[in-house]
Amino acid sequence: MTIELGVAELAATRFALSPLSETVAGLRLLTAREQAAHHSPWVRWARDELRRSPLELPWTWPLLVHDRSGWPNFLVPAPKAPRSSLEDDLAALAATGAEHVRASLRRVFGDQPPALAEDPVRGLRAVAAELREAHDRLIAPHWPRIRALLEADVTHRARVLAAGGARRLFADLHPSLSWSDGRLTAAGRRPVHPGPGGLVLMPLALGPSNVLIKRHTATQTTVRYPVRGVGTLWTAAKPPADQVVRLLGRARANLLAALRTPATTTDLAATLGVTPSAVSHHLRVLHENGLVTRERTGRTVHYALTSLGRSLLT
């Protein structure tokens, strides 16, 4: 795919996180015949959850499970804020114009569109309600961990942009992406019809290993790419080695092990069953000694291992 990306579009390009994006990706992941090994723990958990209490998705399921290639892109509208809430995402979905819905359905289903095409306004409200329930059941229990990984990715990309500019940023997003002479190219030459404004770059935890770019959209064009460190997302924290415990003490060694996946103080306190104040004290010591980093995003501070901290654990 090729996107014409002039100066104005590049200046408006931004990052965003979307719980709705992860919800749709998670549902598609459950229908895939093959999954990457690192997603297997979540897939097993989700299927057990659905066997216990099935989800009813009469409007949404036909949009995602069929014998056609692709799926309607209006299901994941471009977030308006850097850290969009589920309600914001669903409101944008429900506000999609009827003609855009029908055009999107025709591109996927040809002359046999699903029932949504008959009454897009009512149908989108039903789809939004179903996706809200799917998120609450399948994504919300894991959202703090997913969000921490996504935000750590954006922090990393900001450093790459500051150090190497747009060319290095896009090359770092995914091996298939390159930017040159005002064009963003991704593994092919099919043109993209960009929406208004620049691109919205969205890290994706539950998605495939390739980049997902909207070719047609009524909102900004989204580029969803695999998040960094996704292989650690569902890995249970391995206990620290005895040598690390003797060096740091049990509490700090456990904390270091838990930070194989970036996390907040609140997340760590819940994971380890200790008070946030105790976690903060130990994190301060680990940070002062170069074992963890901390990055502030709005009011939230995420901690992650430094190369020294990771080497110590291994």
308 phi and psi, to 5 degrees? -65, -45
**Model confidence at 314, in pLDDT bands (50, 70, 90)?**
confident
Q: What is the dihedral of CA 171, 174, 180, 183, to 10 degrees?
A: -150
Mean pLDDT over 30-39 rounds to 77
Cα radius of gyration (the chain)? 21
d(CA 164, CA 85): 31
Over the stretch 44-81, which tens digit does the pLDDT of each residue have?
999 999 999 999 999 999 999 888 888 898 999 999 99
Angle at 40 between CA 37 and CA 46, to 5 degrees: 160
Q: Number of C-alpha atoms within 13 angstroms, CB side, residue 5?
A: 26
**Closest C-alpha to 160, from 144, 183, 143, 179:** 179
Residue 176, pLDDT score: 86
d(CA 278, CA 117): 55
**Model confidence at 229, in pLDDT bands (50, 70, 90)?**
confident
Q: Which of 33-37, 146-150, 151-155, 172-176 is the least confident region?
A: 33-37
Helix axes 40-52, 19-31, angle to 10 degrees: 80
Residue 249, pLDDT score: 93
